[in-house]
Amino acid sequence: MSTSSEIKGIGDGAPDGWVIEEYVVPMPKRLDDILTEVRTILQRGRVQTVRLANGHPITFTRFVKQDEAAQKLKEEEVGGVGLGDVARNVIMDEYALPPDSSSLQAFLYMMLSVEARRLHLTHIGTGSNTRLFEWLGIDRIAYGSIENIGGAEIVRDGEIPDDILIFFGSPYRSGRIDQITYAIKVHMFLEGEDLPEEENGSET
């Protein structure tokens, strides 16, 4: 989501009716990808600042006409895409836990399923109040704030049920959400819960 403010006093000779917008984009993992992203930003024109900081997204500002900024803001509010939206529009497999298998086995199988398609695991989708940490048997207090696993970004999405875990794959190592082409999900059943009959068969 971009934000805007008056450009008075920012830049030389900036005309009335213009605003400066701030944009935030994910920081790629590799140096070559970072340079490509910065080049793409500069090619947008009217860019005033670009800020890079290790461990943080790239932020940049550019001048836009005030009416264009208002229209862009409206489009972003209506057309924002989350992982829940992506999950409904890409090829998705479902991993059914075989009897006596562990959550760690399921986790590994899903990673391999993405890699077997020559894709990169870029995002791990969970619910807002996910049971991921309980399912894996690790301490939520110690690890609940982690933002990525193995280079894949953990995204908490309110459209994903809390007992569902989804791995997303992209042809690009640091792929954006809109570059995802494959997903695989699993139901995270906790010890003592009864699996539905359809979950008691072999994997699908």
Over residues 50-60, mean pLDDT: 83
Half-sphere exposure of 140 (CA within 13 A, CB side): 7
- Between the alpha carbon of residue 187 and those of residues 1, 40, 139, 143, 154, the distances in Å are 32, 39, 20, 21, 17
| Domain spans, the chain | 3-78, 83-199
Domain spanning 3-78, CATH class: alpha beta
Residue 163 has pLDDT above 90, yes or no: yes
Residue 56 CB coordination number (10 Å): 11
CA 76 – CA 107 distance, rounded (Å): 34
- Tell me the one-letter amino acid at 159: E
Residue 140 has pLDDT above 50, yes or no: yes
Q: What does pLDDT average to over the chain? A: 77
The answer to whether 48 and 4 have CB atoms below 8 angstroms apart is no
Based on C-alpha coordinates, what's the Rg of the chain? 21
What are the beta bridge partners of residue 123?
A: 153, 168
Please report which confidence band the pLDDT of residue 121 belongs to, taking 50, 70 and 90 as the band edges. Answer: very high
The answer to whether 93 and 106 have CB atoms below 8 angstroms apart is no
Pick 150 or 10 by higher pLDDT: 150
Residue 202 has pLDDT above 80, yes or no: no
26-40, 54-68, 137-151, 170-184: which range is least confident on average?
54-68
Give the pLDDT score at 193.
65
The answer to whether 137 and 167 have CB atoms below 8 angstroms apart is no
Pick 10 or 143 by higher pLDDT: 143
